[in-house]
Chain A
């Protein structure tokens, strides 16, 4: 099992360690609900170093990324990040990712831990004649996420950067606790916050500086359990649950990221055809109207017929509701549609609800 450079820190803190995507990671420290609420109301710090980083550099770096992803990477200036995907020729997901433009001809793709090797191979396989160097730097990067309404106040005294100048989905190079880092205003929680990337061998200096400064604000270390409940309340997709190589970008309701007017990209033809013909199914958010939690793979029924499975489902700690995601036939995706979910030996009522389930006040 792989360990991140912060592994000892988690054990010192009494984190409950589990295996996730080949890494030994903390699932919780004091409890998922407490950590979840700390992020919504104050701040939380996460080790997300399991995430992968792939660097693409060279004269054709942009053209290669344009070919691999449906979003328009030509809109990225240096210092800007973009949510996008690696798509198959069918318009389904090899992965979802963030594209950072680090320099004139250098980009960083931040990918899911579970996919980093697959993505790297996929990029090499599809590189063709594009002149670009592709490096899988996943093992060299530590990524620390500081998320929550107090994130900026906590981080500001620890960095030489003026954080108020970094807008949502922008980043800067600077120092955090004296360590060279990329500070990006992004996250996977639905809150304001930062993701800090460093290749330094002592990233615990950043962790300790943040937790020390964060004490007076009520910051808590948070594990993968809270990361999952936070992202689901904000209806952010989890690869392997909600999206994969069988679901298209349009079915996942991420059509906004597909820019058909840009040059050719993998999956363009299939997605254009699907857009013209209309999608047959779409991901929806639901609320369980009775007691119980709809967990992944539980069956979903309409009029007694099984139509799909739950892709993600949890008790939402901030909303205090049982929520989830599933794909439904398009004629059943309107808000208010009632359907059923099989929870072990019984069937419960569920309803399609607006998403995101949780949206922070600006």
Chain B
């Protein structure tokens, strides 16, 4: 369920590191709790974010949730498809539902994050 090559946050984001860039999204656990997602506020390209700063906001029918950046860095790409089809996050949270790509400023911050097996244990405790 949770890809082994991703890192995870306690706020239910994931990041997949490719070179100096990280692809960021929210986890299956997060999308399942939010239910049907209907809007997303994406960050602007070029925005500089700090670790755990708000990267964007997701609105489902029943709730609203902020997305926190798993690392510090600069937003270099956003998933524009989500503007018209935010339900991609429900359908494929770890793939087509990715939210933004961030040029990582300090990869030592990745040590703050959980591995897949650590995250699976973490959400087990939240059920």
CB within 8 Å of B: which residues of A? Answer: 16, 27-28, 31-34, 225, 229, 291-293, 295, 314-315, 317, 344
Q: Which residues of B contact A344 (CB under 8 A)?
A: 57, 64
Could you tell me the distance in whole angstroms from the C-beta of A185 to the nearest C-beta in chain B?
28
Q: Which of A16, A291, A317 contacts B61 (CB 8 A)?
A: A317
Could you tell me the distance in whole angstroms from the C-beta of A299 to the nearest C-beta in chain B?
15
Decide: A27 and B41 in contact? CB cutoff 8 A.
no
Decide: B35 and A295 in contact? CB cutoff 8 A.
no
Interface residues as binary, B53-91 with A (CB distance below 8 Å gives 1, 0 otherwise): 000010101101000000000000000000000000010
Size band of the interface chain B makes with A: 10 to 19
Q: Which 5 A-B residue pairings sit nearest by Cβ, starting from the closest?
A: A315-B38, A33-B36, A32-B61, A31-B36, A293-B59
- B40 to chain A: closest residue by CB: A291
B39 at the interface (CB under 8 A from A): yes
Decide: A225 and B35 in contact? CB cutoff 8 A.
yes
Decide: A33 and B62 in contact? CB cutoff 8 A.
no
Q: Which of B35, B41, B61 contacts A314 (CB 8 A)?
A: B61
Decide: A315 and B39 in contact? CB cutoff 8 A.
yes
Whole-angstrom CA separation of A262 from B120 in the bound complex: 64
CB within 8 Å of A: which residues of B? Answer: 35-36, 38-39, 41, 57, 59, 61-62, 64, 90
- A27 to chain B: closest residue by CB: B62
Decide: A32 and B62 in contact? CB cutoff 8 A.
yes
- A314 to chain B: closest residue by CB: B61
Q: Which residues of B contact A229 (CB under 8 A)?
A: 61
Q: Which residues of A contact B57 (CB under 8 A)?
A: 344
Could you tell me the distance in whole angstroms from the C-beta of B92 to the nearest C-beta in chain A?
15
Decide: A293 and B36 in contact? CB cutoff 8 A.
no
Q: Which residues of A contact B36 (CB under 8 A)?
A: 31-34, 317
Q: Which residues of A contact B90 (CB under 8 A)?
A: 31
Contacts A32-B35, A293-B38, A315-B39 known; A225 to B59 CB distance under 8 Å? no
Q: Which residues of A contact B61 (CB under 8 A)?
A: 32-33, 225, 229, 314-315, 317
Contacts A33-B61, A225-B62 known; A293 to B35 CB distance under 8 Å? no
Decide: B59 and A28 in contact? CB cutoff 8 A.
no
Whole-angstrom CA separation of A31 from B38 in the bound complex: 12
Q: Which residues of B contact A317 (CB under 8 A)?
A: 36, 61
Q: Which residues of A contact B59 (CB under 8 A)?
A: 292-293, 315
Could you tell me the distance in whole angstroms from the C-beta of B87 to the nearest C-beta in chain A?
8
- A32 to chain B: closest residue by CB: B61
Whole-angstrom CA separation of A31 from B4 in the bound complex: 28
Could you tell me the distance in whole angstroms from the C-beta of A298 to the nearest C-beta in chain B?
10
- 21 A-B residue pairs with Cβ-Cβ distance under 8 Å, sorted by A, are A28-B35, A31-B36, A31-B90, A32-B36, A32-B61, A33-B36, A33-B38, A34-B36, A225-B35, A225-B62, A292-B39, A292-B59, A293-B39, A295-B64, A315-B38, A315-B39, A315-B61, A317-B36, A317-B61, A344-B57, A344-B64
Decide: A293 and B64 in contact? CB cutoff 8 A.
yes
Could you tell me the distance in whole angstroms from the C-beta of A71 to the nearest C-beta in chain B?
33
- A36 to chain B: closest residue by CB: B61
Residue among A16, A28, A225, A315 with max Cβ neighbours from chain B (10 Å) = A315
Given contacts A31-B35, A33-B61, 12 further A-B contacts (CB under 8 A): A28-B62, A31-B36, A32-B36, A32-B62, A33-B38, A225-B61, A291-B39, A292-B59, A293-B64, A315-B61, A317-B36, A317-B61
